[in-house]
């Protein structure tokens, strides 16, 4: 199947061809015909599966371009708002469609002006609700999209979303996209959608077979050396290093820069202008390495990312899928590398089970391995090197003491020695050590399980119900804090 099967407008079809899109992804194949029929939809699909085009292309095809706001797309973060807005503009520019990006931290007046001159508004919930509450905008969109609905739930935006829909016309087409379907999202769908069609893209479909996934087992103290050794060996053209905390992003970005790479950090505490400058620099290739937190990189759509490095393995499988989905896009291959310690084996095994694809254990290369990896580059440098008069004089002087072959060998050795490979020669665990550590971890887990059952499972069951009720209350409080921080 190709995109020609959807019979899009010629101007839209031209933009699709220019973007290099050939065959629709599973979510696009399922969702686009339903949206074109004018039906509401609930689509469950993960990041990196082509969701923006799945809702954007049919909406663009149906828009009348009458100068009014016809579509609103609500997303959880500023970065995703920018990405979605850019993509919709790219597809719709031949149709004369402008997009307005709305998020906190920018001028109200400027954003209102953009909205008044646009056909599509892509907004984060907090700022969009502010504009509606203050009466600064009066719009009547035909199409409303909730993208990354579960992420907005986690960030505490559920109440804002419900309030937003009170301002929107009932005669609208509503599209809801979410990676997971917790009960609150199902309830929301029932509340705001009319007889929706359901599309579910299975985990098997979301696993990108073009991404090779490796993991390396190290001691905690070896993480920095392991990362640099792997980067030196893999020689990525454009890579993202994922960290868990903002503090870690700042430290690691400085460390990687000190090793000779063009690297910058990206996290939520940065000013919006700085964040945008970093993303633009990374997109155009002025940066080789982007060091980022999960939230900052959510929805980040950068072409030609060759490698993703997990400095720490993420806490959950959803984050892992999101992270590695930054590479291997648009039909290209990618490599995802995770650095783990023996204490993280349980998380690693859970991710491997949930993702349903093989994460292969590898051994961190030695210094000699890296030098051999650079062998072809050095040969190319020698072949392309222009011979100068000074070089001839040096060789003539050397000939007084050495034969030609010895001179060539010494010069080649000198070039190799210039590849300054830092760290110990041996970093991390061997495959045999990893296998032994896994067996020990499994045995320890089984022993702990037997001890737990021996202390009485019934009491634990009753206590478990009580704890779940408390946990629910804690979840609501966490959502409230997240929402407050976002508004700040």
Indicate the pLDDT class of residue 452, thresholds 50, 70 and 90: very low
Which token pair is 266? 């990206």
**Per-residue confidence (pLDDT) for residue 164, from 0 to 100:** 97
Whether residue 265 is found in the same domain as residue 160: no
Which of 179, 211, 213 is closest to 76 using CA atoms? 179
Which residue shows structure tokens 């590398």?
Answer: 337
* Residue that is written with structure tokens 């077979």 in the block: 209
Mean pLDDT, range 7-34, rounded to an integer: 91
- pLDDT for the residue 464: 37
476 inside domain:
no
CATH assignment of the domain containing 264: 3.40.50.300
Higher pLDDT, 424 or 93: 93
Cβ proximity of 12 and 60 under 8 Å:
yes
Per-residue tokens: 296: 């900052």
Chain centroid to CA 18: 24
14 and 49 share a domain? yes
Judgement on whether residues 125 and 248 belong to the same structural domain of the protein: no
Task: Tell me what percent of the residues of the chain surpass a pLDDT of 70.
Answer: 85
Give the confidence band of 291 by pLDDT, cuts at 50, 70, 90: very high
Tokens of 107: 């001028």
Which pTM value belongs to this model? 0.56
**Sheet architecture: strand order including 197-200:** 99-102, 120-123, 71-74, 143-146, 173-178, 41-44, 197-200
Per-residue pLDDT, averaged over 178-203, amounts to 89
341 and 296 belong to one structural domain = yes
Q: Summarize pLDDT for 120-156 with one digit per residue, the tens.
A: 999 999 999 999 999 999 999 999 999 989 889 888 9
Q: In the structure, what pLDDT confidence band is assigned to residue 268 with cuts at 50, 70 and 90?
A: confident
| pLDDT at 391 exceeding the cut of 50 | yes
Q: How far apart are CA 242 and CA 297, in angstroms?
A: 9
More confident residue, 337 or 462: 337
> How many CA atoms lie within 13 Å of 445's alpha carbon, on the beta-carbon side?
10
DSSP state of 194: S
Q: How many angstroms separate the Cα of 454 from the Cα of each of 162, 391, 447, 460, 464? A: 48, 79, 11, 11, 17
Boundary residue ending a domain (389, 417, 445): 417
Check whether residue 338 and residue 405 sit in a common domain. no
Domain housing 307: 207-368+425-437
pLDDT higher than threshold 80 for residue 353: no
Using pLDDT thresholds of 50, 70 and 90, give the confidence band for residue 298: low
Residue at 233 is within a domain: yes
Is 191 found in the same domain as 108?
A: yes
State whether 149 and 227 are in the same domain.
Answer: no
Q: Is the pLDDT assigned to residue 395 strictly greater than 60? A: yes
Q: Do 363 and 392 reside in the same domain of the chain?
A: no
Chosen domain end from 182, 205, 228: 205
Domain contains 449: no
φ, ψ for residue 196 (rounded to 5)? -70, 150
Q: What gap in Å lies between CA 6 and CA 66, rounded to an integer?
A: 23
Residue 372 pLDDT: 79
End-to-end alpha carbon distance in the chain: 47
SS3 labels along 287-299: CCEEEECHHHHCC
175 versus 407: which is more confidently predicted?
175
Identify whether the C-beta of residue 192 lies closer than 8 Å to the C-beta of residue 165: yes
Residue 278: alpha-carbon gap to chain centroid: 15
Mean pLDDT of the chain: 84
Greater confidence (457 vs 208) lies with: 208
Q: Which tens digit of pLDDT belongs to each residue from 196-251?
A: 999 998 655 445 678 899 999 999 999 999 999 999 999 899 999 999 889 999 99
Cβ atoms within 10 A of the Cβ of 82, count?
A: 21
Residue 483 covered by a domain: no
Domain membership of residue 165 (yes or no) is yes
Q: Is 55 helix (H, G, I), strand (E, B) or coil?
A: helix
Tell whether 358 and 387 lie within a shared domain.
no
Q: Does the pLDDT at position 6 exceed 60?
A: yes
Percentage with pLDDT > 90 across the chain:
51
Torsion of CA 414, 419, 420, 423, to 10 degrees: -120
Asked, for residue 482, whether it belongs to a domain, the answer is no
Q: Are residue 119 and residue 93 in the same domain, yes or no? A: yes
Query: Residue 434 and residue 428: Cα distance in Å, rounded?
Result: 10
Evaluate whether residue 30 is within a structural domain. yes
pLDDT confidence of residue 420: 64
Asked if residue 474 belongs to a domain, the reply is no
Q: Where are the beta strands (DSSP E) in 124-172?
A: 143-146
pLDDT at position 458, please? 42
> How many domains does the chain fold into?
3
Q: What is the pLDDT of residues 398-441, one digit of tens each?
A: 999 999 999 888 888 887 765 666 677 788 888 888 888 888 87
CB 144 within 8 A of CB 123: no
Q: What is the C-alpha to C-alpha distance for residues 388 and 32, in angstroms, rounded to an integer?
A: 63
For 313-351, how does the pLDDT look when each residue is reduced to its tens digit (9 = 90+)?
987 776 788 788 888 876 788 999 999 999 888 888 878
Say if residue 217 is in the same domain as residue 139.
Answer: no
Q: Are residues 277 and 411 in the same domain?
A: no
pLDDT of residue 252 exceeding 50? yes
């Amino acid at each position: 199947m190709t995109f020609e099967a959807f019979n899009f407008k010629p101007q839209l079809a031209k933009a699709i061809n220019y973007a290099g899109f050939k065959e629709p992804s599973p979510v696009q194949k399922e969702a686009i015909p339903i949206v074109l029929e004018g039906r509401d939809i609930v689509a469950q699909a993960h990041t990196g599966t082509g969701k923006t085009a799945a809702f954007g292309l049919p909406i663009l095809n149906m828009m009348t371009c009458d100068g009014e706001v016809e579509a609103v797309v609500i997303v959880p973060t500023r970065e995703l708002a920018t990405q979605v807005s850019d993509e919709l503009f790219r597809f719709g520019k031949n149709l004369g469609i402008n997009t307005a990006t709305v998020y906190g931290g920018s001028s109200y007046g400027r954003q209102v002006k953009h909205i008044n001159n646009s056909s599509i508004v892509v907004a984060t919930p907090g700022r969009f609700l502010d504009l509606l509450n203050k009466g600064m905008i009066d719009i009547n969109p035909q199409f409303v999209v909730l993208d990354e609905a579960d992420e907005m739930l986690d960030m505490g935006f559920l109440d804002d979303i419900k309030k937003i829909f009170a301002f929107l016309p009932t005669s609208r087409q509503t599209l809801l996209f979410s990676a997971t379907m917790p009960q609150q999202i199902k309830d929301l769908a029932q509340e705001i959608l009319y007889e929706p069609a359901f599309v579910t893209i299975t985990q098997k479909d979301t696993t990108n077979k073009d991404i090779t996934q490796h993991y390396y087992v190290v001691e905690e103290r070896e993480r920095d050396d392991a990362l640099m050794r792997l980067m030196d060996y893999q020689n990525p053209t454009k890579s993202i290093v994922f960290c868990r905390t903002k503090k870690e992003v700042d430290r690691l970005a400085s460390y990687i820069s000190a090793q000779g790479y063009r690297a910058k950090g990206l996290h939520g505490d940065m000013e919006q202008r700085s964040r945008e400058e970093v993303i633009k620099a990374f997109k155009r290739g002025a940066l080789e390495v982007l060091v980022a937190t999960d939230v900052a990189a959510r929805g980040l759509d950068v072409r030609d990312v060759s490698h993703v490095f997990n400095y720490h393995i993420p806490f959950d499988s959803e984050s892992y899928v999101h992270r590695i989905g930054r590479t291997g896009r648009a039909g290209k291959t990618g490599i995802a590398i995770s650095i783990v310690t023996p204490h993280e084996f349980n998380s690693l095994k859970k991710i491997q089970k949930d993702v349903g694809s093989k994460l292969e254990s590898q051994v961190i290369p030695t210094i000699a391995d890296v030098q051999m990896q650079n062998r072809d580059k050095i040969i190319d440098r020698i072949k392309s090197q222009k011979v100068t008069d000074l070089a001839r004089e040096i060789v003539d002087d050397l000939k007084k003491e050495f034969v030609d072959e010895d001179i060539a060998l010494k010069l080649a050795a000198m070039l190799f020695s210039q590849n300054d490979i830092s760290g110990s020669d041996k970093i991390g665990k061997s495959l045999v050590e990893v296998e032994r550590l896994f067996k020990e971890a499994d045995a320890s887990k089984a022993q702990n399980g037997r001890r737990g059952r021996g202390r009485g499972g019934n009491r634990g069951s009753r206590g478990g119900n009580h704890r779940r009720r408390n946990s629910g209350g804690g979840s609501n409080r966490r959502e409230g804090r997240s929402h407050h921080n976002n508004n700040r």
